[in-house]
C-alpha cells in the first residue's frame, strides 16, 4: 500500500497573521482582567461571566476558555504567549483562538509545547488537531467547562440531527470510490471490527435522525410566484 502523504496547508498572509496575533493578545489581556475580577470559584461566577460575554460580543462559554488561556499556572504566561506568537510568525500560521482550548487540554506544559509546535509548523486544521490529540493522548477531559447544553428541546434536537447526518455522510464518503490519484482513506482499509462498529453506529444514528424528524418543524416550501 502506498504511503499516504499529509497535505500541508498554504501559509497565511502577513495581514492574516497580524489579525490572528492581535486576537490572541486581546483575548489574553481580557483573560487577565477576568482572572482578577472574576477568579474561579467565586460566587455567582457563571452569571457575571455571561454578562462579560454579552458586553464583549462573544459566546459565554468562550469566556471560560479566555480566562483559562491567561492563567499563568495552567494556561499561558506572557512569555509562553510570546513563544506561541513567534511560532505563528516563523511558520506563517494564522492561529485562530479556537485552537487554544485544544492546546489547553494538554495539562503538561512541556508536552503542550511540543504538540503546538508540530501543529503550527504543519499548519494543521482544527480537525487534524483534534484527531492528533486523540491519537497521542487518548480519550481526555477537555480543558475548561463541559459543553453548553441548549435550554430548549428543539435546539438540542437540531444539534443531534446535525451530528446524525454527519455520521451518515462520513460512512457514505468512506464507501465512495475515490477519485484517481486521491490518497483518501477507503472503507476497505479499515479493520473489519471498526467497519462493523461504525456501521452499527450509523444505523443507530439513522434511527435517531428519523425520530427527530417527527419532533422538529418541517421546512416550509418556498411560495411559487403568482403569474402576473
pLDDT per residue over 69-103, tens digit each? 999 999 999 999 999 999 999 999 999 999 999 99
Which range, of 7-11, 13-17, 197-201, averages the lowest pLDDT?
7-11
Query: What's the sign of the alpha-carbon dihedral 124, 126, 127, 130?
Result: positive
Gap between the Cα atoms of 149 and 30, Å rounded? 25
User: What's the CA gap between 131 and 136, in Å, rounded?
Assistant: 9
* Residues 30/68, Cβ–Cβ less than 8 Å: no
Q: Which residue has the higher pLDDT, 192 or 145?
A: 192
- 111: cell is 508536552
The residue with cell 450509523 is 202
Q: Is the pTM of this model over 0.75?
A: no
Where b means 16+ CB within 10 Å and e means fewer, 125-161 reads: eeeebeebbeeeeeeeeebbeeeeeeeeeeeebeebb
Question: What pLDDT, on the 0 to 100 scale, is given for residue 92?
Answer: 95
Question: Between 103 and 3, whose confidence is greater?
Answer: 103
Residue 200 has pLDDT above 60, yes or no: yes
Q: Residue 218 pLDDT > 80, yes or no?
A: no
- The pLDDT, as a whole number, for residue 143 is 46
| DSSP annotation of 112 | H
**pLDDT, position 158:** 83
- Domain residue limits, the chain: 14-137, 153-213
Q: Mind listing the pLDDT tens digit for each residue in 21-64? A: 999 999 999 999 999 988 877 665 677 777 888 888 888 778 88
Q: What pLDDT shows up at residue 42? A: 66
Over residues 99-139, the pLDDT tens digits come to 999 999 999 999 999 999 999 999 999 889 988 998 888 75
Q: With 60 as the cut, is the pLDDT of residue 14 above it?
A: yes
Question: 66 versus 162: which is more confidently predicted?
Answer: 66
Residue with cell 457563571: 46
The span from the CA of 203 to the CA of 197, in Å, is 10
> In this structure, what C-alpha cell is assigned to residue 188?
476497505
4 pLDDT more than 50? no
Amino acid at each position: 500500500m502506498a504511503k499516504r502523504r499529509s497535505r500541508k496547508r498554504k501559509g497565511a498572509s502577513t495581514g492574516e497573521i497580524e489579525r490572528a496575533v492581535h486576537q490572541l493578545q486581546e483575548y489574553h489581556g481580557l483573560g487577565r482582567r477576568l482572572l482578577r475580577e472574576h477568579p474561579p470559584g467565586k460566587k455567582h461566577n457563571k452569571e457575571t461571566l455571561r454578562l462579560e460575554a454579552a458586553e464583549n460580543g462573544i459566546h459565554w462559554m468562550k469566556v471560560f476558555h479566555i480566562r483559562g488561556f491567561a492563567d499563568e499556572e495552567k494556561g499561558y504566561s506572557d512569555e509562553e504567549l510570546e513563544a506561541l506568537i513567534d511560532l505563528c510568525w516563523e511558520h506563517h500560521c494564522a492561529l485562530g483562538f479556537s485552537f487554544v482550548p485544544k492546546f489547553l487540554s494538554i495539562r503538561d506544559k512541556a508536552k503542550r509545547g511540543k504538540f503546538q509546535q508540530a501543529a503550527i509548523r504543519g499548519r494543521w486544521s482544527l480537525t487534524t488537531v483534534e484527531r492528533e490529540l486523540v491519537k497521542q493522548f487518548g480519550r481526555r477531559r477537555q480543558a475548561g467547562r463541559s459543553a453548553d447544553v441548549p435550554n430548549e428541546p428543539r435546539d438540542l434536537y437540531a444539534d443531534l440531527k446535525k451530528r446524525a447526518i454527519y455520521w451518515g455522510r462520513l460512512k457514505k464518503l468512506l464507501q465512495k470510490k475515490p477519485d484517481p490519484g486521491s490518497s483518501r482513506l477507503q472503507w476497505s482499509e479499515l479493520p473489519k471490527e471498526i467497519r462493523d462498529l461504525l456501521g452499527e453506529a450509523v444505523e443507530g444514528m439513522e434511527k435517531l435522525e428519523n425520530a427527530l424528524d417527527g419532533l422538529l418543524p418541517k421546512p416550509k416550501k418556498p411560495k411559487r410566484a403568482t403569474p402576473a
